[in-house]
A and B are shown apart, each in its own frame.
Chain A
Amino acid sequence: MKKKPVFTFLQFSLLVHSMQVGTGILSLPRQLAEIAGTDGWISILLAWGLNVCFGIIMVLVMQQYPNDTLPDLFMRLFGKVIGRVFVLLLVVHFVFFSWSVLVNAMLYIQAWFLPLMPMTMIMMLFVVPAYMMARHHIVAIARYCEFVFFLSLWMGFVFIIPLREGQFVHMLPLIKEGWLPIFKAVNSTTFSFIGFEIIFLVYPFLNRKELAIPGVLLGNTFTLLLYLASTIVCFVYFSPDEITQYNQPFLSLLKVVEFRFLERFDIIFLALYLFVVSTAWVPYIYSAAYCSSHLLGSSNHSMHVLLFSVASLVIVTIIQPSWNQSELWKTWAGYSGLMVAYTLPVLLLLYVKLIKLVPRKEVHP
């Protein structure tokens, strides 16, 4: 239709939330326990506060130019040439992040379901639906995220089942090792909390801009609750020493859940969890394609989505990624996330405030 597509406050916050939640949650309890022991859950709280702050900074930047997405903003602030360099950085970040989420999910699926299946085939299972969704406008993608969120709400209740056998005494005493390990562990949540940089791309489509900050808060809070619940349940269920021995304590936890009519509930859970992970990679692929189409000056991003999909299939076939590589990429993706989600908004805010100070004439029109 002719009207500019917009999305609602709830869709906005759920988009932020669903981009953050991916495969990170599966191994997060172990990563936290390795550094901070059973106090790791406090790190999640701290990380949440930090991420909300940076999310708000992003909103503050975007408020200055409410009709621009980040690539538009770069072009406006820095001109065509330098702007393109920045957009290229964004493309690299988004492509890399989508790739690492996809590879990570693929490795899980290969390990748990299809050990004999070629990686390309598994990748195809992800990439085809992702292509079908990511080639549409971000508003449609936000609807998808919203739908999947409500579709998978029941998964939260599964956490309660292992609690029957949990020992809350594992959590005590609070802050055994002092605050330092807790602060250190915040760093390892980066990969799991990255995703709110989508604010940069979707702010212009928000129908009520004044609700952007509550939206960021709500989205991050959903993520916080999810991570907090899963981490605490893992800490309570496993003993503090045991937990670091499992690669994905979260999945090992689910093995306990069993019904009369269904054994190995974890299999079903993980398969359905793919839906949740898909709401992370779909917006990422969209973002990558959106930025790269801006880079080349074309308004249609669906060709770029196709290109990404085909390229990822080809690369998977050639490289045959391993767990170690994937872990490495995850770390790198964490770094690029640090750049884009934490450093960039601060710098941009300073820059924007600065050019507001100088007389209007010198600013690009």
Chain B
Amino acid sequence: MASSGGTVHEQLQHNISQLQTIFTLAPDLVIRSMDTEQGASAVVAYFEGLVDMNSINNDVLRPFFHSIHNQEGVVPVTVGNIKNTTKWSEIEHGLLIGKSVVFMEGQAKAFLLDTSGWPQRAIEDPQIEASIKGAHQGFVETAQLNIALIRRYIPNRELKITELTVGARGKTSISIMYLQDVADPEILTELVERIGKVDVDAIINTGELAEFVEDRSFSPFPQLLMTERPDSAASHILQGRFVIVVDRSPSVLIAPVTFVAFFQSVDDYSMRWSIATFIRLLRMFAFMIALFLPSIYISFLTFNFEVIPIQLVLSIAESREKVPFHPFLEAVMMEITLEMMREAGIRLPAPIGQTVGLVGGIIIGQTAVQAGIVSNIMVIVVSVTAIASFIIPNYDMGAAIRFLRFPMMLLAFMFGIVGLVSGAMMLVSHITALTSLGAPYGSPLSPLKFSDLKDAFVRLPLWKMSSRPTNAMPKQSKRQGNNKPDGDAS
């Protein structure tokens, strides 16, 4: 690191040896010297693998050897992005991020050419946020490409990007994208300040940044929405939110978000609005089921069985007569088995994953009941809960809910329905007080914003959504004009 200070020397040989002292034990560093026809000599250096070889060969080396004019201070290459520099630190960083550097004899400066072309995945369908009607392009691991994907949706000069760098070693470039005439500048300041405070070696994945930036790290709920869909990122930008693109990570962060945003998907807007509303309500219902159903079952069975009608009590008792465990133990056992199966299914390659599902299905669904370890009804409860928790479109939120189920079950086991209500109170208190970058997380329900309810639990017709949600405190609240189709009313 000590050698990275200082400036570029006029003599070529001096520069080459300086380069070699900076990058010792770096066999992938290529230093190519060239003597052009005019007699002036030059050197191109780059890291093999981080650059696009086509670009080096065709745009740098070829023009060099065939250069006709050789003006003083001009490097004869056909690369778009060229930067002059005299600082070794910049050269070092540039080389490491895939640029190539040209030194010329007799010039005390270097040229950084953007020839970067590292190994890169093709743009594919988003994996965990599949959609039926939405676009089939997901983010990839290159920030420039991700930014371009978003820009394709919003070709507007007000779409601004604030660039930051995080990580002493990783030097991850972080781009905050927003609409300047819509997004709240105070939130931007807050966001830049929080990202600026992060002092780590490197950010490997977006999730790490989220954990450093979020408001309350002890909350089970995700406070920043992570998405791998450019269309969903663009639609949030249009609503006045901020999108944080992290280089080398295939997902971006959206902030500030609300609790209900995790229950929405891009498909909601391309379906008939009544059906989209139905599906959204279904998701909220599934959220309730996933969170509370096992604990309601436990509390009714242990404390408050007088609530259940007598026929149901009898049939439950019948199915439980062989089961030696307390309902709580039974439920925890089943839930944990299910979680293990889910986790195993993720890590295993698809063909084996199916086997896990099959084995789990047969053993748990049938054999465990026949063996008298669990009751039929518990199997139903657990599987309904599991299905409900997978309906939630956002993975992080689904995981949070699956996790919260366990403390709820414990409360139900200890205190019955009162414990459950107490747990629900804690959740409501927590969500009410939670903020995402200082904006209330519970909006539009708490604080109540009637105008924002149009796009929360229901999805009203698009022509109704003439104002942006107030949660992100947008400067321009008007989103669209009167688009109501005349239809057959005219």
Closest Cβ of chain B to A234, distance in Å, is 23
Residues of chain A with a CB closer than 8 A to B426's CB: 128-129, 132
Given A1-B190, A8-B447, A144-B428, are A274 and B421 neighbors across the interface (CB < 8 Å)? yes
Closest Cβ of chain B to A205, distance in Å, is 13
Residues of chain A with a CB closer than 8 A to B416's CB: 113-114
The answer to the question of A2 belonging to the interface, with a C-beta cut-off of 8 Å to chain B, is yes
Flag if B429 contacts A262 (CB, 8 Å). Answer: no
Closest Cβ of chain A to B132, distance in Å, is 33
Q: In terms of DSSP, what is the predominant structure of the interface of chain B? A: helix
The answer to the question of B70 belonging to the interface, with a C-beta cut-off of 8 Å to chain A, is no
The answer to the question of A229 belonging to the interface, with a C-beta cut-off of 8 Å to chain B, is no
Among A11, A133, A272, which residue has the most Cβ atoms of chain B within 10 A? A133
Q: Which of A131-156 contact B (CB under 8 A)?
A: 132-133, 136, 140, 143-144, 146-148, 150-151
The answer to the question of A157 belonging to the interface, with a C-beta cut-off of 8 Å to chain B, is no
Closest Cβ of chain B to A289, distance in Å, is 15
Given A113-B417, A136-B433, are A278 and B306 neighbors across the interface (CB < 8 Å)? no
Residues of chain B with a CB closer than 8 A to A282's CB: 429
Q: Which of A261-279 contact B (CB under 8 A)?
A: 261-264, 267-268, 271-272, 274-275, 278
Flag if B448 contacts A146 (CB, 8 Å). Answer: yes
The answer to the question of A125 belonging to the interface, with a C-beta cut-off of 8 Å to chain B, is yes
Task: Pull 15 A–B residue pairs with CB atoms less than 8 Å apart, ordered by A.
Answer: A1-B186, A7-B447, A113-B416, A113-B418, A117-B415, A125-B422, A126-B422, A143-B440, A147-B442, A147-B448, A261-B312, A263-B308, A267-B307, A271-B421, A275-B425
The answer to the question of A10 belonging to the interface, with a C-beta cut-off of 8 Å to chain B, is yes
Chain B, residues 423-458, CB within 8 Å of chain A (1/0): the string is 011101110110000101010011110000000000
Closest to A7 in B: B447
Flag if B448 contacts A140 (CB, 8 Å). Answer: no
Among B426, B429, B432, B446, which residue has the most Cβ atoms of chain A within 10 A? B429
In Å, the complex CA distance between A117 and B303 comes to 12
Closest Cβ of chain A to B291, distance in Å, is 15
In Å, the complex CA distance between A111 and B310 comes to 23
Closest Cβ of chain A to B12, distance in Å, is 55
Flag if A267 contacts B417 (CB, 8 Å). Answer: yes
For the complex with contacts A271-B417, A282-B429, 17 further pairs of A-B residues with Cβ separation under 8 Å are A3-B186, A10-B448, A113-B304, A113-B416, A113-B418, A114-B415, A125-B422, A132-B433, A143-B442, A147-B428, A150-B448, A263-B306, A267-B306, A268-B417, A274-B418, A275-B421, A278-B425
The answer to the question of A35 belonging to the interface, with a C-beta cut-off of 8 Å to chain B, is no
Chain A, residues 1-29, CB within 8 Å of chain B (1/0): the string is 11100011011000000000000000000
Closest Cβ of chain A to B371, distance in Å, is 31
In Å, the complex CA distance between A243 and B173 comes to 73
The answer to the question of A260 belonging to the interface, with a C-beta cut-off of 8 Å to chain B, is yes
Flag if A1 contacts B421 (CB, 8 Å). Answer: no
The answer, among B420, B422, B432, for a CB contact under 8 Å with A143, is: B432
Given A114-B415, A147-B445, A267-B306, are A140 and B422 neighbors across the interface (CB < 8 Å)? no
Flag if B447 contacts A11 (CB, 8 Å). Answer: yes
Flag if B422 contacts A268 (CB, 8 Å). Answer: no
Chain B, residues 165-192, CB within 8 Å of chain A (1/0): the string is 0000000000000000000001000100
The answer to the question of A92 belonging to the interface, with a C-beta cut-off of 8 Å to chain B, is no
Closest Cβ of chain A to B289, distance in Å, is 16
Closest to A150 in B: B448
Chain A, residues 271-297, CB within 8 Å of chain B (1/0): the string is 110110010001000000000000000
The answer to the question of A109 belonging to the interface, with a C-beta cut-off of 8 Å to chain B, is yes
The answer to the question of B487 belonging to the interface, with a C-beta cut-off of 8 Å to chain A, is no
The answer to the question of B27 belonging to the interface, with a C-beta cut-off of 8 Å to chain A, is no
Given A147-B442, A260-B309, are A272 and B421 neighbors across the interface (CB < 8 Å)? yes
Closest to A125 in B: B422
The answer to the question of A121 belonging to the interface, with a C-beta cut-off of 8 Å to chain B, is yes
Residues of chain A with a CB closer than 8 A to B353's CB: none
Flag if B432 contacts A140 (CB, 8 Å). Answer: yes
Residues of chain B with a CB closer than 8 A to A10's CB: 448
Flag if A263 contacts B429 (CB, 8 Å). Answer: no
The answer to the question of A122 belonging to the interface, with a C-beta cut-off of 8 Å to chain B, is yes
Given A147-B446, A147-B448, are A129 and B306 neighbors across the interface (CB < 8 Å)? no
Closest to B184 in A: A1
